Structure 1
Amino acid sequence: MEKEARCFLGRFVEEFPAALEEDSPLPVSSLSQNVSLEELHGESLELGLRFLAARGAPAGLSSLLCQAALSELLQNDLSPFYCPEEAEANQEEEQQVVLLQSAKVQRLFLNKLIDVALAWHQNFPKLPPAPSRFLRCSVHAIKNTRRKMEDKYLALAEFNHLFGIQDGLERAYYAVFDGHGGVDSATYAATHLHVALSKQETLQNDAATAFKTAFKHTDDMFKAKAKRERLRSGTTGVAVLIQDQELTVSWLGDSQAILVRKGQVVTLMDPHKPDREDEKQRIEDLGGCITFMGCWRVNGTYAVSRAIGDFDQKPYVSGEADCSITQLFGDEDYILLACDGFFDAVKPSEVPHLVLDALQQSGDTEGRGDAPQEQSEQSVGLRVAQQLVGHAKAAGSSDNITVILVFLRPPEQLLAQDSTTGTAQATRDSTSQDALQQ
């Protein structure tokens, strides 16, 4: 990592040899016009990661740079960035919300980021070790035939680096959010849920409680923003946290995650849908109803029974997440996260052979050419999500489609296993068992 990091810092300081000037345009746009103090953490990290990724920064270095820059930003007096109208506009609020002007405060954050990069370029620090667990990630997302892209996702193998956590437990975080009625809610969840999760005192010993609290807190935060800015949207979401040998899945709505172990599907969750018997009963107990209008809908409106946002239908559309915990034993192949645009067209039981077929094609095409063998091996698996998305589209999905595939061991091992044991063929031929229930 050090060689790659030094090379990037060299390029970066050539492009940004000094702080941004006061009247120069920002090299990356802010998500919001105004941001609360609580939202500043997530929005700054999102902006910094996006800014560095656009310049080819190594993911681990990006997380460390952003964490260092944010720590310095939060030591500053931020009162000069308060919105002038903020005090008067919030006088009637029970608890006054301090809003900052995003463009101005994010200029300061980017300058802190540039300062850290310049300092590290001149005196390269001792970086924390990279995670020891093998994690290679394949991601692909398409708008498909929809008018707008309302999916958002986050793949964060450097969770601890981004938040400066040093408790000895390795962590990686992945999430898919499927927005409806606009992309605002999905964008918000992708920006803030992992931040809220990182701040939970129960994270180390009770990740399920930490996740549930983080989902609820994110929903509450978005409610305040939606009220301020008159936003109307919602999002389902599924997020996974790999914490040492423990896999925690938390979800709202019908986005899903599955685990594949030795070529077989392990069911991790039951998606929330309005016609699920316990969801239907919960909604009716609250005085709501489930009606069929092309699909089952809550009070004739939303086709999801749990979501962040959708405040006009709370509490019928619940903001309470569910969780499951699965122990990892080292024989797992991968985790797949996707929105309903994928799972409406692809059954979980189809995933193992689709992945192996995609890996075989990927290995054939990506291993050719003049690239060194090591580079060719590293590329195997990177296009698998793209082929899975393409399959879902060909199978009839017209919705936005997002797929994240997190390999828990090298894809080359899965190919070798398939060639020696016939796992893919066995999976294709198996009709008696859809999945192994964990």
Structure 2
Amino acid sequence: MTDVCVEMSADAGFPEKCREARLLRIEPRAAPPPPPGGEGSTSPRPAAEPKSAAGDDRAAERCAAAPPESRPLSSASSSSIGSGFGPGDLASPEKLTAAPPNAPQFGFVSLSGRSREMEDAVSLRPCFFSPDGDGSSPLHFFAVFDGHGGSHVSALCKDRMHELVAEELRQAAAERDVAGDVFAAAARRAFRRMDDLALSSCACGRVGTLFCGCDQGGFSSQIVGSTAVVAVVHRHRIFVANCGDSRAVLSRAGRAIPLSSDHKPDRADEMARIEAAGGRVIYVNGARVLGILAMSRAIGDKYLKPIVISEPEIKACERTREDEFLIIASDGIWDVLSNDLACDIVRRCLRDEGRRRRPPPDDGGGGSYCSTAATLLTRLALGRKSSDNISVIVVDLTRS
């Protein structure tokens, strides 16, 4: 050991090498090219979409002109910032900075934080459905999925949940307007179908083959699940469907209004439901279902059925002129930040943008102030020692 220490101290280039390594960790890096398998790839982490200004313009034009059913599922640009993680650095954040016409401005950050594995997923689908069919009154889909036990269920939710909700809305919306009861019925069916897909999928990513013969099959696929908080924004209403302990919060006239309620095992009504289903709430590092799962509802988790259910709680609220913004985030934010504090931070960002009296630029940076607000929330959560993955979406409701 003495020889090793002497050799290290004698290396004149050692401090320079440390600085070089540090610079490499914090420098932004380009996102790697997608795997040759395309959508059929089974990589545990979805690759970031490449940024193309020309492609963004063409996608935005298509979103405004084409019927919602034929629009691309993701027409906004995205960028990825370096994967290195050091003290005070953000680990692999993804920031969405553009929105198509007719959509509210929005931005997000999603990163692994201090956790070794990234199990969160974020889905942003502006103009994903239009009840009238002509695109004049589109619905916009924003969702956060917080996985546990693995990432394949949250990744599956990211890829399929908006499609299932759109299909159910298309079948349920006989009228030209989507009312609260119509959305509630459609969301419940969509969550049920999503749960069935999760229960029949393998941890390697294959759907419909729970025992596909791979190394990750069998019990490894049955212990994976995900929360789901889905917000659908209409020009007159906001719909939220929640399953798990992720959360959506609306800021209206300077007040924080929660649009979802966390499904924790020690919540009185949830504890009664768990016990009625034959389960128990055991306190092991907090309240847990059978001492295992720290939430009482989730998509997937086959080994805890029927105690853990995928039934979402639905809330619909009418939009007003006093609505400011919407925050949708995983518990990596809410475990360390209160609703009021999170809304206060975002409100300051939006007010600073308003004082500049500059319209959002049209070169792919339309939601930059929303991304700034999401980044500030993320940094504060990291500063308060959040140990979980962190995913947060900020939607500006004042410009739509």
Q: Please, what TM-score do these two structures have when normalized by structure 1?
A: 0.63
Cα distance per residue 1:128-174 (max 9 Å; x no partner): xx7546x110201121110111100011112138x994375321110
Q: Is the 8 A contact 1:242 1:248 kept in 2?
A: yes
Cα distance per residue 1:316-343 (max 9 Å; x no partner): 1111111011011232001100000100
Q: Is the 8 A contact 1:358 1:388 kept in 2?
A: no
Q: Is the 8 A contact 1:385 1:403 kept in 2?
A: yes
The residue that corresponds to 1:220 in the other structure is: 196
State whether structure 2 residue 187 is matched by structure 1 residue 198.
Answer: no
| TM superposition shift of 1:209 | 1.0
Letter in 1 for 2:145: F
Q: Report matched runs for 1:224-235 at 5 Å.
A: 224-226=200-202, 227-229=210-212, 230=217, 231=221, 232-235=223-226
The residue that corresponds to 1:30 in the other structure is: 38
Cα distance per residue 1:30-75 (max 9 Å; x no partner): 34469xxxxxxxxxxxx9x966x544432535766996599xxxxx
State whether structure 2 residue 384 is matched by structure 1 residue 406.
Answer: no
The residue that corresponds to 2:332 in the other structure is: 341
Change (3 A) 1:302 1:172: same
| TM superposition shift of 1:352 | 2.5
Cα distance in structure 2, aligned partners of 1:389 and 1:132 = 28
Cα distance in structure 2, aligned partners of 1:381 and 1:308 = 29
Question: Which of the residues 241, 253, 256 maps onto 2:232?
Answer: 241
Letter in 2 for 1:174: F
State whether structure 2 residue 118 is matched by structure 1 residue 149.
Answer: yes
Letter in 1 for 2:160: H
State whether structure 2 residue 276 is matched by structure 1 residue 285.
Answer: yes
The residue that corresponds to 2:379 in the other structure is: 390
The residue that corresponds to 2:317 in the other structure is: 326
| TM superposition shift of 1:294 | 0.5
Cα distance in structure 2, aligned partners of 1:373 and 1:274 = 45
Q: Is the 8 A contact 1:216 1:321 kept in 2?
A: no
Q: Is the 8 A contact 1:234 1:307 kept in 2?
A: yes
Cα distance in structure 2, aligned partners of 1:243 and 1:360 = 23
Cα distance in structure 2, aligned partners of 1:297 and 1:259 = 28
State whether structure 2 residue 170 is matched by structure 1 residue 185.
Answer: no
Change (3 A) 1:29 1:66: farther
Cα distance per residue 1:190-235 (max 9 Å; x no partner): 1111101111122534111111110111111121223244324100
Q: Report matched runs for 1:298-309 at 5 Å.
A: 298-309=289-300
| TM superposition shift of 1:274 | 0.7
Cα distance in structure 2, aligned partners of 1:262 and 1:65 = 34
Change (3 A) 1:169 1:360: closer
Cα distance per residue 1:96-136 (max 9 Å; x no partner): xxxxxxxxxxxxxxxxxxxxxxxxxxxxxxxxxx7546x11
Letter in 2 for 1:151: D
| TM superposition shift of 1:398 | 1.3
Q: Is the 8 A contact 2:69 2:129 kept in 1?
A: no
Cα distance in structure 2, aligned partners of 1:386 and 1:289 = 38
Change (3 A) 1:26 1:351: closer
Cα distance per residue 1:9-49 (max 9 Å; x no partner): xxxxxxxxxxxxxxxx9875434469xxxxxxxxxxxx9x9
Aligned length, in residue pairs: 308
State whether structure 2 residue 345 is matched by structure 1 residue 354.
Answer: yes
Q: Is the 8 A contact 2:125 2:141 kept in 1?
A: yes
What secondary structure does 1:197 align onto?
helix
Letter in 2 for 1:258: V
Q: Is the 8 A contact 2:349 2:369 kept in 1?
A: no
Letter in 1 for 2:140: A
Letter in 2 for 1:375: P
What secondary structure does 1:157 align onto?
strand
The residue that corresponds to 2:139 in the other structure is: 171
Change (3 A) 1:235 1:259: same
State whether structure 2 residue 158 is matched by structure 1 residue 209.
Answer: no
| TM superposition shift of 1:395 | 1.6
The residue that corresponds to 2:128 in the other structure is: 159
Higher helix share: 1
Extract unaligned runs of 5+ from structure 2.
Answer: 1-32, 73-99, 203-209
Change (3 A) 1:68 1:253: closer
Q: Identity over aligned residues, as a percent?
A: 27
Q: Is the 8 A contact 2:153 2:226 kept in 1?
A: yes
The RMSD of aligned alpha carbons is 3.4
Q: Is the 8 A contact 1:290 1:297 kept in 2?
A: yes
The residue that corresponds to 2:244 in the other structure is: 253
Letter in 2 for 1:218: M
Q: Please, what TM-score do these two structures have when normalized by structure 2?
A: 0.69
Change (3 A) 1:254 1:342: same
Change (3 A) 1:224 1:245: same
Cα distance in structure 2, aligned partners of 1:355 and 1:69 = 30
